A and B are shown apart, each in its own frame.
Chain A
Amino acid sequence: MPPPGAASCTGCHAADPKIETRVPRIAGRPASEIVAAMEAFRSGQKPATVMNRIAKGFSDAEIRAIAEWLGAQK
């Protein structure tokens, strides 16, 4: 079962590897990379169009749970 918030990610970040767009696939990526990216989006360190606004809605614990769940997806 995806942790709270995680199910919304696939609205833009395709879970299906056959779907190719400019939005990077995050399912199956190492959790540490996702956590680092989300923290950088949240602090404004990493420039973004929408992810900066989304990341601010999640706590450290929520980000970690989402990243671990995404990291475990194939």
Chain B
Amino acid sequence: MKERAGTRRSFLKGSLAALLTTPALAQGQPRVIVVGGGFAGATCARELKRLLPDARAMLVEPNPTFTACPFSNGVITGLRQLRGQQFNYEALGSLGVNLVYLSATKVDPQTRTVTLSDGTALPYDRLVLAPGVDFRWGSPTGYDEAASARMPHAWKAGEQTLLLRRQLEAMEDGGLVAISAPPNPMRCPTGVYERASLIAFYLKTRKPRSKVIILDAKDSFPKQRLFQAAWQQLYPGVLEWVSLSNDGKVVSVEPATNTLVTDFTQHKAAVANVIPPQKAGAIAQVAGVADRTGWCPIDPVTFESPLQKNIHVIGDAAISGAMAKSAFAANSQGKACAAAIALLLTGETPPPGKLINTCYSLVAPDYGISIVGVYQPVNGQHVDVEGAGGTSPLEAPRETRAAEATYAAAWFRTITAEVFG
């Protein structure tokens, strides 16, 4: 990895040239390409290299800086800096993962090649797609990429996170913050309610005459009773949730006036945060591993697509049954997929295994709640193991909530260090 001392371009040329001089499916040196460097993809690439030191593991990701979504609601509300969300792939590189800072533009499952944005075609034995989510622009009506510069989604962390923060900071006291929440399936389904909570915390302490309203395309959400009990206790009159059946679904937006329109109401907001409906990232659609829902069916043991052989899908893009689309789930899946691929490449059959997901939410900086699931493959789906999992208790002393807030922070430090450190 000496090339890393040079420019990125020369490093890239070097590694690509090295790869291209070897014929496809070099004997004894399986080639696994992972597309997407989020929690799922980076975990998988790292674990593959650990389990199969002789394999060629490549990570294809256009952005050399990764900006993590978990805890970014703290950035929006001034509790954290964006810098604390940002990581790079240098550790993966020094562990022997080939880093290619380009996009994947095409996949040919027949010839087993991935084409990159510079035109290079790379052969693979196994391909892992971890593209995360794309937005369904145009939904709500009028919400396109241009509109997101006025009404940020902040559902992919980075500039959008900072934009929403700046808008919140610039808002005069007495303003309305409106959050439009999409239907399921979506990335981080509890993130909306954590965001509203932390915004309410910010308003209560900094702009006490202001209000935050969630306009929801759903009638229920995870940890709902816990959130609602905490809201009543911490933010009475500050935070309002409007469900689908109470006219909560935003059908169109008017960016020029910052207005969110439901069937019967027009909400003129000082700050409008529109989280649009989602689907699997573009390369999944291009590779033909997404079905009519826009998401990717998978085998729950190997994460291989039933639609295209030798292509695996992990993370938010996958249809993983009862497992929520979370960073914890993506990390679990990345490791499980790497283990399955390691066995498949040696001709073995991966055994069915259980997976865990733990999602923390902060209702206030020192008030954490969680939802846990343990999953096993049943009839081709990840299904909840009965009797396990569930949410934090509805009745608990504040010390328990404070402990969960501390564990949430510990989780973020651990997972980001395990994956990127």
Residues of chain B within 8 A (CB-CB) of A54 are 356, 358, 372, 374, 388-389
Contact A50–B354 (Cβ < 8 Å):
no
Chain B contacts to A: CB under 8 angstroms: 47, 51, 328, 331-332, 335-336, 339, 342-343, 351-358, 370, 372, 374, 385, 387-390, 392, 400, 403-404, 406-407, 409-411, 413-415, 417-418, 421
- A12 interface residue, CB < 8 Å from B? yes
B417 touches A7 (CB 8 A): no
Given contacts A1-B342, A16-B417, A19-B417, contact A8 B410 (CB under 8 A): no
Range, interface on chain A: 20 to 34
Q: Which of A9, A15, A54 has the most CB of B within 10 A?
A: A54
CB pair B411–A23 under 8 Å, yes or no, is yes
A42-57 CB contacts (< 8 Å) to partner B? 49-50, 53-57
In the complex the two chains form, is B332's CB within 8 Å of A8's CB? yes
Given the known A-B contacts A7-B339, A11-B332, are A50 and B407 also in contact in the complex, defined by CB atoms under 8 Å?
Answer: yes
* Docked-complex contact B356 and A62, CB < 8 angstroms: no
**Contacts from A to B (Cβ < 8 Å):** 1-5, 7-16, 18-19, 21-23, 49-50, 53-58, 62
Which A-chain residue is minimally distant from B337 (CB atoms)? A7
Least CB distance from B186 to A in Å reads: 21
- In the complex, which of the residues A3, A14, A53 contacts B418, with contact meaning CB atoms closer than 8 Å? A14
Once bound together, how far apart are the Cα atoms of A55 and B372, in whole Å?
Answer: 11
The minimal Cβ–Cβ distance linking B421 to chain A, given in whole angstroms, is 7
Instruction: Find out whether the CB atom of B51 lies under 8 angstroms from the CB atom of A57.
Output: no
Of the residues B372, B387, B407, contact of A22 by C-beta under 8 Å: B407
Query: What would be 6 A-B contacts, judged by CB atoms less than 8 Å apart?
Result: A5-B354, A8-B332, A8-B356, A14-B414, A49-B407, A50-B404
Please, which residues of chain B bring their CB within 8 A of the CB of A50? 358, 370, 372, 404, 407
Provide the bound-state CA to CA distance between A44 and B225, in Å: 23
Shortest beta-carbon distance, B338 to chain A, in Å?
A: 9
Given A1-B343, A5-B354, A57-B374, do A12 and B414 touch, yes or no (CB 8 Å)? yes
Q: Is the CB–CB distance between B389 and A57 below 8 Å?
A: yes
Expressed in whole angstroms, the minimum distance between the Cβ of A2 and any Cβ of chain B is 7
Contact A7 B389 (CB under 8 A): no
Q: Across the interface, do A16 and B336 meet the contact criterion of CB distance under 8 Å?
A: no
Given A22-B410, A49-B400, A50-B372; A10-B418 close (CB under 8 Å): yes
Within the complex, the shortest CB–CB distance from A18 to chain B, in Å, comes to: 8
Given contacts A4-B354, A23-B410, contact A58 B417 (CB under 8 A): no
In Å, the complex CA distance between A55 and B186 comes to 28
Q: B354–A58 contact, CB under 8 A? A: yes
Residues of B within 8 A of A19 (CB): 413-414, 417-418, 421
* B357 cross-chain contacts in A, Cβ below 8 A: 8
Give the complex CA separation of A10 and B51 in angstroms. Answer: 16
Q: Which residues of B contact A49 (CB under 8 A)?
A: 370, 392, 400, 403-404, 407
Task: Flag if A5 contacts B370 (CB, 8 Å).
Answer: no
Chain B residues with CB under 8 A of A14: 414, 417-418
A57 touches B332 (CB 8 A): no
B84 to chain A, nearest CB (A): 15
Would A57 and B406 count as touching, CB distance under 8 A?
A: no
Distance in angstroms from A59 CB to nearest chain B CB is 10
How many Å from the CB of A38 to the closest CB on chain B? 12
In the complex, the answer to whether A57 meets B385 with C-beta atoms within 8 Å is yes
